[in-house]
Amino acid sequence: MFVPHTEEQKKEMLRTIGVSKFDDLLAGLPPSLLRPNLGLPSSLSEMELLRHMEGLAQKDHLAQSYLGAGAYEHFIPTSVWALALRGEFATAYTPYQAEASQGTLQSIYEFQSLIGELFAMDVANASMYDGASAAAEACLLAAKHTERPVILIPETVHPQTRQVIETYLAHSGARIVILPCPDGVLSLETLKKNLGGDTAALLIQNPNFFGCLETNIHEAAAAVHAAGALVIASSYPVALGMISPPGEYGADIAVAEGQPLGLPLGYGGPYVGLFACKTELIRKMPSRIVGQTVDRDGKRAFVLTLQAREQHIRREKATSNICTNQALCALASTIHMSLLGKEGLRELADLNFQKAHYAAGELQKRGFSPVFQQPFFNEFTVRCPVSPEKIADRLAEKRVLAGLPLGPYFKDRADQLVVCVTEIKTKADIDEFAGLLEAACR
């Protein structure tokens, strides 16, 4: 199917090679171990494959979802993937031969520019695996740059991001200190108590895992800088159409899960890690970076640059081991951002904000009161009249996701549910959802 050689051609090729049979090419491979019985089924035709896979997909069909917690359901214009999946983009390799890869290279330069602008940061790289590994690499960078060991992380940072950071930092000499946040946001008092001469960085997520906006973020950033440490800000890209971007409170490194910009939920990936920093950290930044230059005729052109940071040049002394990243996802995001434009991003943020606030009001009327007295963007935590896990189970029977019960993540929050409402929900959807929640408590 994918192999073009006829039997006659294969014989001709073997003759050209100068061997009488194919196995003569396998000298050195242990003959007794060759061609084992794999115990696997035989091939499916494309038609059979589609029927099989569509059947599996159908098992997971869903009616509605109010689950966010790090992965968000946003509308993706049809042109995004129609363009990104063009073979010239999708089936190209990392742009090593720049003359034959200007399409990929220019799109990455545009991606870096758009992300720099989104975060209000100096420079961005070509992408990381996901938001969690971007945060982990940022922590490693901060520890190396400051030569200090402690990374402060409020408990409002996504628990799964914290787990990935733990894995990456396990043998780096750096360690994590978790800051308690009983009010749903980091308090200055808690921060100042933990800041010290050994603090490398504060990692702060805004909006945070409970949906709250970190109200003290400007003051917190100033305090961290006063202690000689770095600020690593993790954001939700869509929220930045409305709320202060990392550059406005002086973040040194900005990271994010880029999924909300044009990538489907897809059970967790492929997503795209966004990573930007201040100019003075460029040469310590992980992953690929594209720069503008000229060709020998003086024509504007783009090329992978500052490669002296990278593993294929520096090997064990590289700033990171990352090689292949998430280029095609970054491209889809670039197209999505270009379609949204300046005004579209602002409008999209407003739709999310308004609809979530309407939903919070409707839920409160039905006995789901807000847990935190903090401003929020499109996600909020409510206290449930009965066990949130029970509610979630009941709604799951109707193929509706109620949100994220917090019990499995925070033992003392077993009565709480985090609900997310994006632009794709209509007023009618929200009203129906509020009714379903109420009914599930009976």
Q: Scan residues 271-300 and list those touching another protein (CB under 8 A).
A: 271, 282, 288-300
Stretch that binds another protein, among 104-112, 175-183, 188-196, 222-230 (CB under 8 A): 104-112
Using the minimum distance from each CB to another protein, give the nearer residue, 118 or 201: 118
* 151 forms part of the interface with another protein (CB under 8 A): no
* Binding string, residues 342-361; x marks residues near another protein by CB under 8 A: xxxxxxx-xx-xxx-xx-xx
* 168 forms part of the interface with another protein (CB under 8 A): yes
* 106 forms part of the interface with another protein (CB under 8 A): yes
Give 255's strand partners. Answer: 234, 275
* 89 forms part of the interface with another protein (CB under 8 A): yes
Using the minimum distance from each CB to another protein, give the nearer residue, 338 or 387: 338
Handedness of CA 122, 127, 132, 135 (dihedral sign): negative
Q: Smallest gap, in angstroms, from Cβ of residue 233 to another protein?
A: 13
| Residue choice 101, 156, 234, 235 for contact with another protein (CB under 8 A) | 101
- Please check whether residue 277 is in contact with residue 247, taking contact to mean a CB–CB distance below 8 angstroms: no
Distance of CA 418 to the CA centre of its chain: 19
| DSSP sequence for 151-210 | EEEETTS-HHHHHHHHHHHTTTS-EEEEEP-TTSS--HHHHHHH--TTEEEEEEEES-TT
- How many CA atoms are closer than 13 Å to the CA of 229, on its beta-carbon side? 29
* 340 forms part of the interface with another protein (CB under 8 A): yes
- CA–CA gap between residue 238 and residue 147 (Å, rounded): 34
Q: Scan residues 385-404 and list those touching another protein (CB under 8 A).
A: 392-393, 396, 399, 401, 404
| Residue choice 138, 251, 303, 382 for contact with another protein (CB under 8 A) | 303
* 329 forms part of the interface with another protein (CB under 8 A): yes
Residue that the structure tokens 């073997």 belong to: 14
Give the contacts of 219 (CB within 8 A, at least 6 positions apart): 188
* Binding string, residues 204-223; x marks residues near another protein by CB under 8 A: ---------x-x-xx-----
* 226 forms part of the interface with another protein (CB under 8 A): no
Number of residues this chain uses to bind another protein (CB under 8 A): 206
Terminal CA-to-CA distance of the chain, rounded, Å? 58
Residue 71, helix vs strand vs coil: coil
Q: Scan residues 27-46 and list those touching another protein (CB under 8 A).
A: 27-30, 33-36, 38-44, 46
